[in-house]
Amino acid sequence: MKKKISIYPTEQKVFPYLLILPNFLIFTIFIIIPFCYGIVMSFTNWKGIGAINFTGIENYIRIFSDSEYWDSIFRTLKYALIYLPIAIIVPLFFATQLVKKIRFRGIYRTLFFWPSMISPIVIGISFRFIFGNSTGCINYLVQILGFSKLNLMTSNAGAIFVLILASVWCGTGGTMIIFMSGLENISTVYYEAAEIDGATSRKKFFYITLPLLKPTMFLVFITGIITVFKTFALTMQLTQGGPGDATKYVVQNIYDTAFSKAQLGYACTQSLILTLIIATFTVFQFKINKGGAINDN
Amino acid sequence: MKKLSVLLLIVIMAITCVFATGDNEKTATVKQLDFFWWSDGQEGVAMQALIDEYEQMHSDIKINLIEVPFADVQNKIMMSVAGGEAPALTRTTEGISNQLYEAFVDFGEYTDGEALKSHFVSSIESYYVKNDKIISVPSDVTANGLIVNKTMFDKAGVTLPSGPDDIWTWDEFKKALIKVKAANNLEYAIAIDNASHRWSTILYEFGGSFANKNGGNFTSDNSIRCIEYTKALADEGLFNASTWITFEDAGILFRSQLVAAQICGTWCLEPYHNNITEFEWCATYMPVDVKRSSTPGGKQFAVLQDSGVEQEAVDFVLWATEKEQNQRYCEQSLFVSPRLDCAELKYPYRSSDFAVFANELANTGNEGAFDWGYPGLSAAFGVDVTYDFPKVLSGKMTVMDFAEKINKDINDFMGK
């Protein structure tokens, strides 16, 4: 019998690393190195142009008394508290319907997913055309019908409502796909057993679907938090942070510090503190939810 | 052998991904000058004509006009400089120059600086001279002013000022706006482009300013009075504050006839001439309070350091801003020339409107040049004015708190 040639142990150890080498190089050059550079810049008063002067921990002392920065952080947290439940419940609802064998399921999936492929900038501009105070379609139609204008964009609550509407509209598709994948991985055996025991649809959802969907929900929640804290392109186009600074969230605050106020060094400090906040929150969530592991009980 | 091929392929892919880069084609004989540009109207066409003429005279020079949206110009220059890919030239404003002048060459090192400065109106010197360095060369002067829907004003029976000796006061103008609003069934009468640069025109007319050589001046009695007057205009439903609160485009409101007047500037004359056909419009004199004022502005051409073609770029700028070229550029673009020897330009249309703006400029003090020309100052207060003035208009911030906050920004920056 011919002897089979086996893979050398050295090759076996090295080959996987070679496969991830391209991605690792790109990640290092475009993420890690700029991140390290940002840490170095956070100890300077660089304006983005001209000389770089090291100022020690001045920026870090300054940030703790920077009420504008912390106000933007708390505004972002408040936005997250309102947006995240909606951004989870709506896609979950659509996912539970679209995993069923219904007519034209493929078309519905495409229609719901399609907005997530549109650039947030285009969405922001489009929603301004719809909800704009003086030049929006809705106010034009409302006034033709003889009613008073809806001053949505001039009130804090109205602007946040329009922002959430735009965010949910464009984000539902992607989250829905993730939930659909999670739902399709739940074994039908559980539902069959529940059916035999006479469980209602509501009980099946709360006692089988939701607990078994925990890893997926955890993933969606964490990515949702990171997405909320990174909110920028949509708000810049839709509200530009207005009215006043009601929708001026933390990334826009950092952007203004860096480019409008020409304080790139201090903006790096703000970015680093934001990274630490998100990382702390993520680690905390991992511990609370045990990394998304399903509770065997 | 197969594994070796796969290994080699992976390494080549990795290196290609990392080092793949575009390449700016440069030949040994032709020098490429990238020129960052934005257009409000036809000035891009006028500049391209100048470039074509210059290239015919200098076959070893190729100038690439690169259109960049105005909102992105400052960031694009900053990123280009930081990335070592600075363009040779850029169009710039006093606001952009304030932040980026350290990256611009000093024209005084290439030519007689005093002789160069002597060609231009003195009121804009602080816009292109920073720390005794000539960091750019003026290409045109702009002025803020008032444009009105004449059709609506005529319908309301409101007569516009007939000349510089017939200027209306702010109270007379306010009464006129009330009449125009009622006669034309408007929701609002006037829109103002933005809370900082455009509104500052009114601030100077009230005798106030953001700063002076002693530091912040925003809490002075005149400045406070102006803020309160503006708030009153909004409270009385005359001023459409959505341009500040929701950042709606005041130009769109004017062109859509949702307002009868707009405080904007000379750069609007050309696009409005080309695009407004449904109603008659014209420039008219700004109302006066304690004095008349506009806010001088303008564009300049700057040459970036470390592009490798600084001399060639400087030569082009100095040629493009000479009397003959600048006159053609301004006449075609409907701009006011910054040159003292180009005061009487022949515009193909709207000459009377230009005459109004020129007269406004001629009656402008130095407050605007200080606020907008002092290096870095406008960046210190601009963002907070943009986001906090709407809070004052909507009652979420008091006038005094707003004024004190801006004053503090200015004093912190100026070290006062």
Which residues partner with B134 through β-bridges? B129
**A187-225 pLDDT tens trace:** 889 989 998 999 898 898 999 899 999 889 988 998 999
Residues 6+ apart with CB under 8 A from A86: A164, A168
Residue-wise over A188-213: b if at least 16 C-beta within 10 A, else e? Answer: eebeeebeeeebeeeeeeeebbeebb
Residue percentage of chain A with pLDDT more than 90: 67
Quick one: pLDDT at residue B1? 64
Assess if residue A4 is contained within a domain: no
Quick one: pLDDT at residue B384? 93
With beta carbons under 8 A apart, name residues in chain A contacting B240: 134
Q: Do B253 and A159 touch (CB under 8 A)?
A: no
**B100-143 pLDDT tens trace:** 999 999 999 999 999 999 999 888 899 999 999 999 999 999 99
SS3 call for B193: coil
With beta carbons under 8 A apart, name residues in chain A contacting B402: none
Q: Residue B25: pLDDT above 50?
A: no
Q: Do A261 and B242 touch (CB under 8 A)?
A: no
Quick one: pLDDT at residue B156? 97
Q: Do B102 and A262 touch (CB under 8 A)?
A: no
Assess if residue A198 is contained within a domain: yes
Quick one: pLDDT at residue A100? 87
Residue percentage of chain A with pLDDT more than 70: 95
Range of the domain at A95: 67-292
Q: Give the pLDDT mean for A104-124.
A: 92
What is the average pLDDT value for chain B, to the nearest integer?
91
**B35-87 pLDDT tens trace:** 999 998 889 999 999 999 999 999 999 999 999 999 899 999 998 998 889 99
Closest CA to B388 of B195, B102, B140: B195
Assess if residue A13 is contained within a domain: no
Quick one: pLDDT at residue B12? 76
Residue-wise over A232-246: b if at least 16 C-beta within 10 A, else e? Answer: bbbbbbbbbbbbbbb
Instruction: Examine the predicted complex and report whether its ipTM is higher than 0.85.
Output: no
Measure CB to CB from residue B242 to each of A47, A133, A262 and give the nearest one: A133
- Name the token pair of B277: 């056909």
Quick one: pLDDT at residue B121? 86
Q: Give the pLDDT mean for B3-10.
A: 72
Assess if residue A3 is contained within a domain: no
With beta carbons under 8 A apart, name residues in chain A contacting B382: 260
- Name the token pair of A28: 């290092």
The pTM of this model reads 0.85
What is the average pLDDT value for chain A, to the nearest integer?
90
Which residues partner with A193 through β-bridges? none
With beta carbons under 8 A apart, name residues in chain A contacting B187: 134, 149
Q: Tell me how far apart the 2 most distant CA atoms of chain A are, in Å.
A: 92
Assess if residue A15 is contained within a domain: no
Which structural domains are found in chain B, ordered by start? 31-142+297-349 (3.40.190.10), 144-296+364-414 (3.40.190.10)
**Cα–Cα distance measured from residue B320 to residue B300, given in angstroms and rounded to the nearest whole number:** 11
Quick one: pLDDT at residue B281? 97
CB-based contact, A296 to chain B, within 8 Å:
no
Measure CB to CB from residue A154 to each of B246, B382, B383 and give the nearest one: B246
Domain of A104: which CATH number? 1.10.3720.10
Q: Do A242 and B74 touch (CB under 8 A)?
A: no
| Burial class (CB within 10 angstroms; exposed 0-12, middle 13-18, buried 19+) of B118 | exposed
Name the residue in chain B with its Cα closest to that of A143. Answer: B187
Assess if residue A223 is contained within a domain: yes
Q: pLDDT category, B319, cuts 50, 70, 90? A: very high
Quick one: pLDDT at residue B26? 47
Q: Residue B27: pLDDT above 60?
A: no
* Strand residues in chain A grouped as ranges (E): none
CB-based contact, A132 to chain B, within 8 Å:
yes
**B339-352 pLDDT tens trace:** 988 877 888 888 89
Closest CA to B190 of B260, B252, B286: B260
∠ CA A201-A206-A211, rounded to 5°: 130
Q: Do B246 and A159 touch (CB under 8 A)?
A: yes
Quick one: pLDDT at residue B42? 86
Closest CA to B151 of B285, B284, B251, B280: B280
Compute the nearest-CA separation of B14 from chain A (Å). Answer: 4
Question: Among B5, B190, B245, which would you mutate to test the A interface (most chain A Cβ atoms within 10 Å of its Cβ)?
Answer: B245
Assess if residue A49 is contained within a domain: no
Q: Give the pLDDT mean for B258-277.
A: 93
CB-based contact, A5 to chain B, within 8 Å:
no
How many domains is chain A built from? 1
Assess if residue A93 is contained within a domain: yes
With beta carbons under 8 A apart, name residues in chain A contacting B249: 135
Q: Residue A1: pLDDT above 60?
A: no
Quick one: pLDDT at residue A83? 95
- Name the token pair of A178: 């993730």
**Cα–Cα distance measured from residue B179 to residue B52, given in angstroms and rounded to the nearest whole number:** 51
With beta carbons under 8 A apart, name residues in chain A contacting B379: 260-262
Q: Residue A293: pLDDT above 50?
A: yes
Compute the nearest-CA separation of A152 from chain B (Å). Answer: 10
Q: Residue B2: pLDDT above 80?
A: no
